[in-house]
Amino acid sequence: MSYIVLAINPGSTSTKVALYEEERPLLELSLSHPTEELARFANVIDQLDWRRGLILQALRDHDFDIHRLSAVIGRGGLIRPVPAGVYEVNSRMRYDLRNAQMKHACNLGGLLAAQIAHMAGPGIKAYIADPPVVDEMDDTARITGMPMCQRKPIFHALNQKATARLHCERAGLVYEESNLIVAHMGGGISVAAHRRGRVVDVNNALDGDGPFAPDRAGSIPSSELIKICFSGQYTREELLKYVSSKGGLVAYLGTNSVMEVMKRIKEGDNRARMMLDAMCYNVSKQIGAMAATLSGKVDAIILTGGISYNEPVVEYIREHCGFIAPIAVYPGENELESLVKNALVVLHGVITPKLYK
């Protein structure tokens, strides 16, 4: 018996969906959401029914009957910290996704999966896998100089784990026996130390930690940030947006597109070159920190995410970090395929999904 899986990956301006029969892709779509349409909704969670309708219409347009589905799996959201793995979407998870303190489109993934699975018929289950809140950090990695401010992981866990395993398969390594540094470089940047199958340290790629990114501020000198907070020039909401969506390259150059920055550099824009170099410098420095976390015993450094398509970025990091370990590049993200694979190991009985509680 072959299984058909629908994977759903909601982002801030698009919803990506894919249909697979076993590991054979049947359909992959990216449903774009123009800014003017999104402006109708006060909150991300209010987009749930609208996005579900778009997905169902797209499937109908391609003559697919959802009653043929074996399972639906969505991108995980900002729920409570959990170990890595596949989770069945239950009522507790749905509640936490709807009421998540941090608002992000990824919170819609499990909810969309649950609703469409319910519509597909009895016995069709909804899952998520390796959500951004996967927490396998060493306890010492959490501690900062202020007891009331502990470090916590929010990162690209799904793509980090999937790309690490893919590299190990191709390099003849065993993920659970390897030491890897994985840098996912997209709108946010997460750099993680994978020690024998566990992400023992990683920066919070959403909430102000680690390298600055195309639209995120990364780590900021504490005293300077406190002064700005009490300057009266910015509201709380404005500063939070700097941290999570209006900082980084956007704050300096007015764009979060590295391709646009590269274009400006080719046209002789020295400021653009300096800011891109600074971002690469910060990524390289974070990779070096993760090498120390692994005591210098690193089997490979893996670069992934959309920014990895840019050869000058890769070469900058290679020049600064190549002495640590061999560098492997897996551009883009294969999150839909990764979601499907996670659903299939459940459907085939290889693993039992974990219980969210």
pLDDT in tens, 106-121: 999 999 999 999 999 9
Domains delineated in the chain: 4-135+335-347 (3.30.420.40), 157-331 (3.30.420.40)
Tens of pLDDT along 268-292? 999 999 999 999 999 999 999 999 9
pLDDT at position 87, please? 98
The H or E element containing residue 302 is strand 300-305
Mean pLDDT in consecutive groups of 10 residues from the start of the chain, 357 residues? 96 93 96 90 95 98 98 97 97 97 92 98 97 97 96 95 96 98 95 98 94 96 96 95 92 94 97 98 98 98 96 98 98 92 97 96
Q: What size, in residues, is the chain?
A: 357
In angstroms, the Cα distances linking 28 to 4, 79, 163, 341 are: 13, 27, 20, 15
The H or E element containing residue 198 is strand 198-202
Strand-pairing partners, residue 195, are: 179, 198
Which amino acid does the sequence have at 338?
Answer: S
CA distance 283 to 160: 15
**Tokens 């100089």 found at:** 145
> Backbone phi, then psi, for 25, in 5-degree steps?
-70, 130
pLDDT at position 13, please? 84
DSSP string, 125-193: EEEEES-TTB----HHHH--SSTT------S-HHHHHHHHHHHHHHHT--GGG-EEEEEEESSSEEEEE
User: What interhelical angle do 91-98 and 108-120 show, nearest 10?
Assistant: 140
b/e burial code for range 176-194 (CB count within 10 A of at least 16 → b): eebbbbbbbbbbbbbbbbb
Count other Cβ atoms within 10 Å, centred on residue 135: 16
CA distance 123 to 190: 37
